[in-house]
Amino acid sequence: MSFPTTRMRRLRRSEALRRMLRETRLSRDDLVAPLFVVEGSGVREAVASMPGVFRFSVDTLVGEAKELVGAGLPAVLLFGIPMHKDATGSGADAAGGVIQRAVEALKSACPDLCVMTDVCLCEYTDHGHCGVVEHGDVANDPTLERLVSTAVSHARAGADVVAPSDMMDGRVAAIRAGLDVGGFEDVAILSYAAKFASAYYGPFRDAAESTPQFGDRRSYQMDPPNAREALREMRLDLEEGADALMVKPALPYLDVLARAKQEFDVPLAAYHVSGEYSMIHAAAQQGWLDGERAMEEALVSIKRAGADIILTYAAKAVAQRLGS
Ligand code: PBG
Ligand code: ZN
């Protein structure tokens, strides 16, 4: 059976056929909206490098979360941006800190919304690194204590899922133990397991004011060419007790995602990061491509490659277009 007996175009002729035969479907249930929270009140500040993304104070954040729930989204991922930054990132685990207050407010206003928190120090340190710096580099083990304390403080505030994004060794085991000792054995860990040292985080660092003040993150985030090492990172995090694993960024690492899908029987998340989002918007603003179609094509490809969960700044807009 070959040409002309086989004609692949027969099944592409109508939207009805295409609808029936579609192998992958993007759903609102797949999407998580990342949100930036700042101090103050009444704040809804546009992020210049990320069209359609805002920084909210806790009060306006609640309004936004209600809209996300209204759009049918199941979850948010919170990033706190404190007023005060110091060498150890003391704001990260402060009772009454910006993220802790945000979690409390969201869980009381939207009890059915799954609240995830990014656990890292870079938004809270004055040097902008993801851990405690000693002798010019991020010191692994002293950072673990800070991360555990941060994760426990998020759990205490009511977080459903904590998502460590620092790439220190041993953080998942340390956080799991800390949560369990603290009585938070039901709080899940979504590990940023395969997180690459990527140029695509640029717009996020503007939004979160977390650009390293010296050096870069290559001594802890992964080297982009390495896929086998990414699988090893993921396996280690699973052994340490991660409930779900993340690959980040998404589009440049779909091969890693697809291999992870074959390898592991746990939920897989992919983070469609700030640069991936902003480059589509930038090209659309120039009139060079159809932004909505390009965004949905990107997200469906992430799902096709194996993601169960997609973290994307386009979550709200896409959910509103998808409908029920
Ligand atoms: C913090 C963190 C980053 C992102 C998520 N958590 C930035 C970084 O590692 O520099 C990136 C998210 C994005 O670009 O959208 N560790
Ligand atoms: Zn960080």
Residues less than 5 Å from ion ligand 2, measured at CB:
120, 122, 130
Burial of 20 (0-12, 13-18, 19+ CB in 10 A): exposed
Residue from 270, 123, 305, 121 nearest 211 by CA: 123
Q: Residue 20 Cα, ligand 1 centroid: separation in angstroms?
A: 38
- At residue 4, the pLDDT reads 85
The one-letter code for the residue type at 315 is A
Secondary structure (3-state) at 248: strand
Query: Does the annotation count 107 as an active-site position?
Result: no
Query: Does the annotation count 195 as an active-site position?
Result: yes
Q: List, in order of start, the domains of the chain with CATH numbers.
A: 25-322 (3.20.20.70)
- At residue 3, the pLDDT reads 78
Q: Is the CB of 122 under 6 A from ligand 1?
A: yes
In eight-state DSSP terms, residue 222 is: B
Q: What is the CA radius of gyration of the chain?
A: 20
Query: Does the CA dihedral 237-242-244-248 come out positive or negative?
Result: negative
Residues 6+ apart with CB under 8 A from 303: 24, 25, 26, 30, 310
Helix-strand-coil split of the chain, %, nearest 5: 45, 20, 35
Q: Residue 129 Cα, ligand 2 centroid: separation in angstroms?
A: 6
- 75 within 8 A of 113, measured Cβ to Cβ: yes
Q: Is the CB of 314 under 6 A from ligand 1?
A: no
Q: Is the CB of 240 under 6 A from ligand 1?
A: no
Q: Residue 204 Cα, ligand 1 centroid: separation in angstroms?
A: 6
- At residue 1, the pLDDT reads 65
- In ligand 1, the atom with minimum distance to the C-alpha of 211 is 10
| Distance (Å, whole) CA 152 – CA 162 | 9
What DSSP string describes 61-77? HHHHHHHHHHTT--EEE
Q: Is the peptide bond before 212 cis (omega within 30 degrees of 0)?
A: no
| Distance (Å, whole) CA 188 – CA 184 | 9
- At residue 324, the pLDDT reads 65
- At residue 203, the pLDDT reads 97
Residue-level pLDDT, tens digit, the chain, 324 residues: 677 899 999 999 999 999 999 999 999 999 999 999 999 999 999 999 999 999 999 999 999 999 999 999 999 999 999 999 999 999 999 999 999 999 999 999 999 999 999 999 999 999 999 999 999 999 999 999 999 999 999 999 999 999 999 999 999 999 999 999 999 999 999 999 999 999 999 999 989 888 999 999 999 999 999 999 999 999 999 999 999 999 999 999 999 999 999 999 999 999 999 999 999 999 999 999 999 999 999 999 999 999 999 999 999 999 999 986
